[in-house]
Amino acid sequence: MKVTVFKAIDDPTIDDIEKVIKDKLGDKYTYKSSRKASSMAGKLLKGSAEDSITVIKNAYHRFVVVLRAEKDPTSLSGLYTSIHFSSATLAGWLGFLHNEVGFIGRIIIRTIYGKDDPIYDEVKTIVKDSFRIEEETIDTGLGSLFKKA
């Protein structure tokens, strides 16, 4: 299995990414931003361990852009900013319904909302074009243990 890691060269903040997305997309979608909690109690209450912005088209089509500070022993600061893209979130009620209705119900939900949507590529392209990002593909899984360097 291969995983693509997006390293942000300029270390943008979530506010920078949110501003670019809102400027390019305008009122086309709704937005929900989440800031990471600084204390352990805040992490338990808020449930947010990192900064993110969710671009919401409807209950089914949502795209999340997450910023994380990752450890990097090769840099002076010891950290780099990575950007993660995810389309795995659903509205709370739809997530519950999606888990409970079974295979046929999931097909019906996908038929109602549409299987694929351009929001995913649109947001990803905006972020990748607006900031200097280095893409790195990493081979993960058991197969990577047996490959020679």
Q: What's the pLDDT at 22?
A: 92
| Buried b / exposed e along 18-39 (16+ C-beta atoms within 10 A) | bebbbeeeeeebeeeebebbee
Do the domain assignments include residue 106?
no
Do the domain assignments include residue 82?
yes
Q: Are 53 and 37 in contact (CB under 8 A)?
A: no
Do the domain assignments include residue 96?
no
Domain that holds residue 12: 2-90+116-141
- Tokens representing 112? 């109602």
- Higher per-residue pLDDT: 94 or 13: 13
Do the domain assignments include residue 98?
no
High-pLDDT (> 70) share of the chain, %: 74
Instruction: Indicate the SS3 state at residue 17.
Output: helix
Q: What's the pLDDT at 37?
A: 65
Do the domain assignments include residue 26?
yes
Do the domain assignments include residue 109?
no
- Higher per-residue pLDDT: 87 or 122: 122
Express each pLDDT in 89-111 by its tens digit. 676 666 666 667 777 777 777 77
Do the domain assignments include residue 104?
no
- CA separation for the pair 41, 4 (Å, rounded): 32
Task: Identify the top-confidence range among 2-6, 16-20, 73-77.
Answer: 16-20
- Higher per-residue pLDDT: 19 or 87: 19
Mean predicted lDDT score pLDDT of the chain: 79
Phi first, then psi, for residue 66 (nearest 5°) are -120, 135
Count of structural domains within the chain: 1
Helices (H), the chain: 14-25, 40-46, 92-100, 102-113, 119-130
Express each pLDDT in 33-83 by its tens digit. 888 766 666 556 655 668 889 888 887 788 889 888 888 767 677 788 888
Do the domain assignments include residue 102?
no
Q: What's the pLDDT at 108?
A: 77
Instruction: Indicate the SS3 state at residue 108.
Output: helix
